[in-house]
Chains A and B, each alone.
Chain A
């Protein structure tokens, strides 16, 4: 046998722990900054979105009912898995036109950020929650709960840090996520999906679609079973009247900058529950 024929990877979607092609059969070409074809990726349709939301919804209760400690451990594990595949992520980022030094910094920062949020899993509720003084014989306390299913439209640049910065604060508290990635950053997103699939994150907690964010935006905004949508990746020339739809189904919209790393980003996707409990024997 002379010479190896390179086996190129088929980038597919990540729904409910599996890697299906788009039900529509459509794909799109991912090119590097020189315009050369790097890969073909699946272009998700609204039906793929529907399936992803269904998977996220059915995984949400069990994910949220894991202990905070356990969720933290699982997320640490993901960071370890990314660490061991560092080289692959570096190559991917470089193929998108990022120089070697910046790429290294981005991958390292992504791992650090992943670990940072993982650490918050059993700590945020003590900080955000409260015991409230009330005039009556009651204990009154406020506890944070995950909002449910979160749609995430991450910024495409920087592709890895952008996704990690938006995804981890959403899922650490027990939300499940449907991510929509676009263009070259789809490759990073699906590679992260491969990491998730081989770590201990239960199926359906993170679902990743690739394709056209603008195309899928109205469907995720209008979907009644999605509780919040992170629109950090939507650029301003999109018809923003679409976002008004979110108010018709009381959906929370969140937009953050990539360099933000704070507890507030976790509370973006929390609901506060206040409980009155009578004092007495």
Chain B
């Protein structure tokens, strides 16, 4: 792929989108995954992982009660231990936003809503922006939308770009996360290009995956996006956040992502304002690791809630 340029909405300046060296990207990602975290730093890493979690339930079978219990868990992940921090946000469908807002009121846990014909993004733009505006009206603090992969892959980057701009407008002051669905993009070059496009169009966060396809987040893809964020921030001075989602189930995987972020973007990104992990089962695994640190015994799934 040759170098292309893209123009940032906020600065009006063109940014070069350079091609990705696939081999060294994957080599670097796998070398970062071998980095071990020593016992003394483990607790900090585990607590940080929890603080960055967007506790997610995106199923057709979601009910207000299920969302309420998810919110309880978000506010107090380990009922037996007050030292365990709360998660960053809960992530739900627009229909569930009001219930989540009610259940998290006053706790500091944010409510994120997917919107805009999640997970395909293939309804009309008007319907999508109305969906976003509706979720905002219901009280969502953050909106997760999907990139229009159909337009992007068909070569109509302009349309994909303008749709994000329109979505951003519909959001108003509310934080916008743009899901690239990296598993559908086909190459690292496309991931980098899509990342730049989303950031230039005004995304506050770029996010790997909807979690609805099997080819979701992976460490090299995350690294590819983190490098795009680094380069975009270098050119524009706008710090864009990054969110990993899909297939992150163990504390160890979460550490790998933390390492990739710290090594690529620096420690300024190691906080929930700039880094999130979208997950549901990850939280239990992190809690089990914390229990192990506290008690010295290996714990098991019988000792955490069934979600």
Q: Are B296 and A224 neighbours in the complex by a CB distance under 8 Å?
A: no
Count chain B CB atoms within 10 A of each CB in A223, A224, A225, A226 and give the residue with the most: A224
Please provide the chain B residues from 277 to 307 with a CB less than 8 Å away from any CB of chain A in the complex: 296-303
Tell me if A53 is interfacial: C-beta within 8 Å of chain B: yes
A49 to B302, CA, bound (A): 18
Please provide the chain A residues from 50 to 88 with a CB less than 8 Å away from any CB of chain B in the complex: 50, 53, 57
Q: Are B301 and A57 neighbours in the complex by a CB distance under 8 Å?
A: yes
Chain A residues, Cβ within 8 Å of B296: 222
Residue of B nearest to A58 (CB): B301
Q: Are A53 and B301 neighbours in the complex by a CB distance under 8 Å?
A: no
Tell me if A249 is interfacial: C-beta within 8 Å of chain B: yes
A249 to B300, CA, bound (A): 11
Residue of A nearest to B298 (CB): A223
- Nearest-neighbour CB distance to chain A for B15, whole angstroms, equals 44
Count chain B CB atoms within 10 A of each CB in A53, A222, A225, A226 and give the residue with the most: A225
Chain B residues, Cβ within 8 Å of A226: 300
Q: Are A57 and B300 neighbours in the complex by a CB distance under 8 Å?
A: yes
Q: Are A222 and B301 neighbours in the complex by a CB distance under 8 Å?
A: no
Q: Are A222 and B300 neighbours in the complex by a CB distance under 8 Å?
A: no
A219 to B303, CA, bound (A): 17
A232 to B298, CA, bound (A): 23
- Nearest-neighbour CB distance to chain A for B287, whole angstroms, equals 13
A226 to B297, CA, bound (A): 11
Chain B residues, Cβ within 8 Å of A57: 300-301
A225 to B292, CA, bound (A): 12
Number of A-B pairs whose CB atoms are under 8 Å? 26
**A 221-247 binary contact with B (CB < 8 Å = 1; else 0):** 011111000000000000000000000
- Nearest-neighbour CB distance to chain A for B36, whole angstroms, equals 11
- Nearest-neighbour CB distance to chain A for B187, whole angstroms, equals 32
Q: Are A53 and B298 neighbours in the complex by a CB distance under 8 Å?
A: yes
- Nearest-neighbour CB distance to chain B for A219, whole angstroms, equals 7
- Nearest-neighbour CB distance to chain B for A178, whole angstroms, equals 12
A223 to B301, CA, bound (A): 12
**B 122-165 binary contact with A (CB < 8 Å = 1; else 0):** 00000000000000000000000000000000000000000000
Please provide the chain A residues from 17 to 64 with a CB less than 8 Å away from any CB of chain B in the complex: 49-50, 53, 57
Chain A residues, Cβ within 8 Å of B301: 57, 225
- Nearest-neighbour CB distance to chain A for B249, whole angstroms, equals 12
Chain B residues, Cβ within 8 Å of A50: 298
Chain A residues, Cβ within 8 Å of B303: 224
Q: Are B297 and A249 neighbours in the complex by a CB distance under 8 Å?
A: yes
- Nearest-neighbour CB distance to chain A for B288, whole angstroms, equals 9
Chain A residues, Cβ within 8 Å of B297: 222-224, 249
- Nearest-neighbour CB distance to chain B for A128, whole angstroms, equals 24
Chain B residues, Cβ within 8 Å of A49: 298
**A 203-233 binary contact with B (CB < 8 Å = 1; else 0):** 0000000000000000100111110000000
Chain A residues, Cβ within 8 Å of B299: 224-225
Residue of B nearest to A47 (CB): B298
A53 to B300, CA, bound (A): 9
Count chain A CB atoms within 10 A of each CB in B297, B301, B302, B303 and give the residue with the most: B297
- Nearest-neighbour CB distance to chain B for A121, whole angstroms, equals 26
A224 to B295, CA, bound (A): 11
- Nearest-neighbour CB distance to chain A for B225, whole angstroms, equals 30
A219 to B299, CA, bound (A): 11
Chain B residues, Cβ within 8 Å of A222: 296-298
A226 to B302, CA, bound (A): 10
A223 to B300, CA, bound (A): 8
- Nearest-neighbour CB distance to chain A for B80, whole angstroms, equals 13
Chain B residues, Cβ within 8 Å of A224: 297-300, 302-303
A151 to B98, CA, bound (A): 48
Q: Are B298 and A219 neighbours in the complex by a CB distance under 8 Å?
A: yes
A225 to B301, CA, bound (A): 7
Chain A residues, Cβ within 8 Å of B300: 53, 57, 223-226
- Nearest-neighbour CB distance to chain B for A217, whole angstroms, equals 13
- Nearest-neighbour CB distance to chain B for A271, whole angstroms, equals 13
Chain A residues, Cβ within 8 Å of B298: 49-50, 53, 219, 222-225
Chain A residues, Cβ within 8 Å of B302: 224-225
**B 191-211 binary contact with A (CB < 8 Å = 1; else 0):** 000000000000000000000
Residue of B nearest to A249 (CB): B297
Q: 7 tightest CB-CB pairs across the interface, nearest first?
A: A225-B300, A222-B297, A223-B298, A224-B299, A224-B300, A50-B298, A224-B297
Sample of 7 more A-B contacts, CB < 8 Å, known A222-B297, A224-B302, A225-B301? A49-B298, A50-B298, A57-B301, A222-B296, A222-B298, A224-B303, A226-B300
- List 9 interface pairs A-B (beta carbons < 8 Å), by A numbering: A49-B298, A50-B298, A53-B300, A222-B297, A223-B300, A224-B300, A224-B303, A225-B298, A226-B300
A interface with B by C-beta (< 8 Å):
49-50, 53, 57, 219, 222-226, 249
